[in-house]
Structure 1
Amino acid sequence: MLRNGLEPWHLLVLAIVVIVLFGSKKLPDSARALGKSMRILKSEAKAMKDEGDGATPPVEPTAVRTAADTSQPRAAAEPPAAAG
C-alpha cells in the first residue's frame, strides 16, 4: 500500500506547499534557525554522551581569590572586645 510513499513528485508538491504557506522571504530565516537548533542539539547530545562515558572527570569549581585575599593571611576570628 505505502510501498513507494515518498516519490520525487511528492517532495516537489511538498516544497511548493511550504513556499506558498510561509513565503519565500521567511524561508532563509527558518532554515537558519533550524540549522542553529540542530547544532545546539548535536552539541548537547555529545556532551551528554561524554558525561555518560566518564571519559573526562567532572571539573570542580576553583575558589576565586582576590588581591585582598592574597596580600595578608587572615587572622583567627577573635570575639569583639567588651566596651568598658
Structure 2
Amino acid sequence: MGAMSPTHWLIVIAVFVLLFGAKKLPELARSLGQSTRVLKGEMRGLHEDEPGHADDRPAAVRDSGTTARTVPTEV
C-alpha cells in the first residue's frame, strides 16, 4: 500500500506530460539540476564560513590547539 507500483508511476508521468508538455519537461529537469548544484555550493560556502572553521582562526590559535579567538578592535 505504501509503495508505488509501475502503473502508479506511469500515471504520474502522464499527468506531468499533460500539465507541462513534452518540450518543457527537459527544461524543468535541467533547471532543477542547476538549482540543486547552486544550493550545494551555497551550503558548502556556509559550512566554510562557520566560526569554528580552522581558516578563520588566527595562526597562533591554530598552532597552539586552543579554541580562544581574538576580537578585532576598531581604530
When normalised by structure 2's length, the TM-score is 0.62
In the alignment, structure 1 segments of 5+ residues that lack a partner are 59-84
Percent identity between the two aligned chains: 38
Q: Distance in 2 between matches of 1:42 and 1:15?
A: 27
Give the structure with the larger helix fraction.
2
CA-to-aligned-CA distance 1:32-62 (integer Å, 9 cap, x gap): 111110000011111112222413228xxxx
Shift of 1:19: 0.6
Q: Which runs of 4+ in 1 moved over 6 A?
A: none
Q: Distance in 1 between matches of 2:54 and 2:4?
A: 42
Aligned length: 56
Hey, what does 2:54 align to over in structure 1?
55
47-56 or 14-23, larger mean C-alpha shift? 47-56
* Higher relative contact order (CA closer than 8 Å, sequence separation 6+): 2
Q: Distance in 1 between matches of 2:7 and 2:25?
A: 21
In the alignment, structure 2 segments of 5+ residues that lack a partner are 58-75
Hey, what does 1:31 align to over in structure 2?
29
CA-atom RMSD in angstroms? 1.9
